[in-house]
Amino acid sequence: MSADYQNLIHLEEVTKVFVTDEVETHALAGIHLDIKKGEYVSISGPSGCGKSTLLAILGLLDTPSGGTYILNNQPASGLRMQDRARIRNREIGFIFQAFNLIGDLNVYENVELPLTYRGMPGSERKKAVMEALEKVGMAHRVKHYPSQLSGGQQQRVAVARALAGSPSVLLADEPTGNLDSANGEAVMELMRGLHRNGATIVMVTHDPRYAKFADRTVHMFDGRIVEETTVAA
């Protein structure tokens, strides 16, 4: 197997149990999943099947109740909170349904913010921010604020923010959920282009039209992976 396509993510027997008022909810049950470098994987299934829980664990926003998670050859299951935060900042790019841009910051500052937490020198930050904005076609909007942008433009800025730190993997949670069909299609084409240039992408989506953009779709039901389908080349 080529080194370019070794496993970036490895999950083995991953479980997640939420306990409230002595009621146990098994959100994930025995998840096995491998994602290779450069792969584009979509996660689909009905509401409440565990898609978002799985993505939160992949993004180190939550911890599994059991099992093994290896990210980029490093154990990621039992890390301390500050270690999870450091790895998130350097290894993972997030694209959310709600954009999550900061209204008081302009486009440039929104994309730059995660890089400042790394202590990256200003000249390096500027180069990374402008390259990311150019990739998503938003370099001409650096001084605009989120309220001055359309939903599609805000999501492009959010993609640039995720890209700027050169993460190992992009995690997208319903990235078209707040967009009309034309803007949704445009964002999906943007992500397809990023994948063709080598990005590893894991995307949660309800929409079967957009799941087809991925190389492989993982179908979930009741906290389990029940099927995987691969798009024919």
Taking the model in full, what pTM does it have? 0.90
Q: What is the mean pLDDT of the chain?
A: 91
Tokens found for residue 130: 């402008």
Residues in CB range of 153: below 8 A, 6 or more apart? 138, 141
Local confidence band at 233 (pLDDT 50, 70, 90 cut-offs)? low
Strands 92-96 and 169-173: what pairing?
A: parallel
Each residue of 68-87: pLDDT tens digit? 999 999 898 778 889 999 99
Tokens found for residue 149: 């942008």
Residue 143, pLDDT > 80, answer: yes
Residue 222 φ then ψ, to 5°: 50, 45
Residue 126 φ then ψ, to 5°: -60, -45
Each residue of 157-173: pLDDT tens digit? 999 999 999 999 999 99
In the block, which residue shows the tokens 């409440």? 48
* Nearest alpha carbon to residue 221 among 16, 33, 46: 46
Residues in CB range of 172: below 8 A, 6 or more apart? 94, 95, 191, 201, 202, 203, 204
In the block, which residue shows the tokens 């034309």? 182
Residue 202 has a pLDDT of: 97
User: Domains (ranges, CATH) in the chain?
Assistant: 39-63+78-230 (3.40.50.300)
3-state secondary structure of 37: coil
